[in-house]
Each structure stands twice: as structure tokens, then as C-alpha cells.
Amino acid sequence: MHISNERYFDDRQRHDLALRMIRHEARTCTIRMCTGLTDDRIRRLYQTYATNMPAMPLRRHRGKSPRQIAFFTRNPRIQFEASLLASMFTAFGLLEPDLRETPNPLCYGALFCDAYETHLQLSGSSGMSFEHAWFLLHLLMRNTGLGTLRCRQCGGHFLHDRTTVVKRACPGCKLKTIRRRPRRKLAERARRSRDALGLPIPPATVPAARLEA
Ligand SMILES: [Zn+2]
């Protein structure tokens, strides 16, 4: 059977992107949308990956895709991460009108992987799953649910939930405040636990100089 070079490279690109998305635990429907591969081929790729990479176990996500807009503002860490990811989408041109109106699914999927992987490296966190990132991109593309605000304190831009009247502060400033007082908070929590259990103050809290005297 003769297979043209063009067809071979096209097929190879689809498989490479599908494997890349499988590594990020993307859902079958998302992989199908970007690669055009059938569910059956994607399932077989999953099996091949699982057999050849036993050291990297994968979870296959089933059920409904993420739909909760409130997820992106549920705490300062996630809100900060979502804001960072949104700026990454802009930097990679994923929100450009030209690209949005005539997207080549294969190129768009690869560009999305580039942006998501860069985000993981820069944030050093995996709090935002691939599917949540994909959902975030589509919310921003449709300009629904989420908006951008500028913080008066630090001048940074951050995402906020337009579907709720609850106003959350800038996540960057909030995280800075949280980081400044972790010891005080922990000490207070320990004191409350001791009081609740009626325990005496541990000897370690008495300064060493006083013990020697
Ligand atoms: Zn701020």
C-alpha cells in the first residue's frame, strides 16, 4: 500500500499531539477535537502508553468536563494561577481574533500544549489540570463569566468572576500577605489546640538561656 509523505506526516502529527495530551491526562473528547482521531484509536493509544510507560501511571478522566466558573476564583492560589495562565494564553497568541476564528485544530492544540507546559514550568504547580486550563481558554475566548481587573495596590491584572457579586481581592497581594504571617498563624493554631486539650505549654518554648540560668 502506498502512503504519501504528506499523509504520513499528517498522521504522525496527530499521533504525537494525542500522546502529548494523554501525558497531561486530557479527556478523549478534547483529544478527538484537536487531533481528529477516532475514540477507538485514542483508546488504543492510551493502552499503548500505559503498557510502555508503567512508571508513569495515568488517570483517565470520565464524566463531565469542568464547567464551574467559580473554580477559578475559589481561593487566592487558584485565582493567581488562573490569572497567570490567562496571560500565558495571550503571550502565545491563543486569544488572537484571527487564530480564534479560523483555528486549525491540530496547530491550536499544539500551541495550547506549549502554553500549558510553559505555565507548569513557570508556576511550579500542577493545581490547574489540563482540562481546567482548556475550559479557562474557552471561557476567555467567548468572553463569558470571567473578566479582568487591575489591582490598585500592585498594578497587576487578575481574573475575577463576573457571575457573582462577591468581590475578591487581588490574589497576588493576598498571597503576599498570607506568606508574611504563616508562623504567627501556626503558633496561634497550636496554642488553640493546646488550650482545647488542656495541655501545658511545652518546655521547648522556654528560651534556652533561661533554662541554663
Ligand atoms: Zn495586587
Same domain? For 136 and 75 the reply is yes
Q: Tell me the pTM.
A: 0.76
Band of pLDDT at residue 8, cut at 50, 70 and 90: confident
Give the model's pLDDT for residue 186: 65
The rounded Å distance from CA 140 to ligand 1 centre is 21
Residue 137 domain-assigned (yes or no): yes
Count other Cβ atoms within 10 Å, centred on residue 160. 20
Q: If you average pLDDT over every residue of the chain, what do you get?
A: 83
C-alpha Rg value of the chain to the nearest Å: 24
| pLDDT above 50: residue 211 | no
Q: What share of the chain is helix, strand, coil (3-state, %, to 5)?
A: 60, 5, 35
The rounded Å distance from CA 155 to ligand 1 centre is 6
Residue 97 domain-assigned (yes or no): yes
Distance (Å) of CA 134 to CA 11, 70, 97, 109, 153: 23, 15, 17, 10, 30
Least confident of 31-45, 94-108, 174-188: 174-188
The rounded Å distance from CA 156 to ligand 1 centre is 6
What is the C-alpha separation between 79 and 132, in angstroms, rounded?
A: 12
The rounded Å distance from CA 92 to ligand 1 centre is 24
Band of pLDDT at residue 9, cut at 50, 70 and 90: confident
The rounded Å distance from CA 150 to ligand 1 centre is 8
Are the C-beta atoms of residues 100 and 141 closer than 8 Å to each other? yes
Question: Percentage of the chain with pLDDT > 90?
Answer: 51
The domain of 16 spans 5-52
* Helix, strand, or coil (residue 174): helix
Instruction: State the number of CA atoms in the 13 A half-sphere of 60 facing the CB.
Output: 12
pLDDT digits (tens, 9 = 90+) for 128-162: 899 999 999 999 998 888 999 999 999 999 999 98
The rounded Å distance from CA 138 to ligand 1 centre is 25
Same domain? For 45 and 76 the reply is no
Count of domains for the chain:
2
The rounded Å distance from CA 157 to ligand 1 centre is 8
Which whole number is the average pLDDT over 182-206?
63
Same domain? For 37 and 118 the reply is no
Are the C-beta atoms of residues 45 and 22 closer than 8 Å to each other? yes
Same domain? For 10 and 35 the reply is yes
Distance (Å) of CA 90 to CA 33, 97, 100, 111: 21, 11, 12, 11
| pLDDT above 80: residue 46 | yes
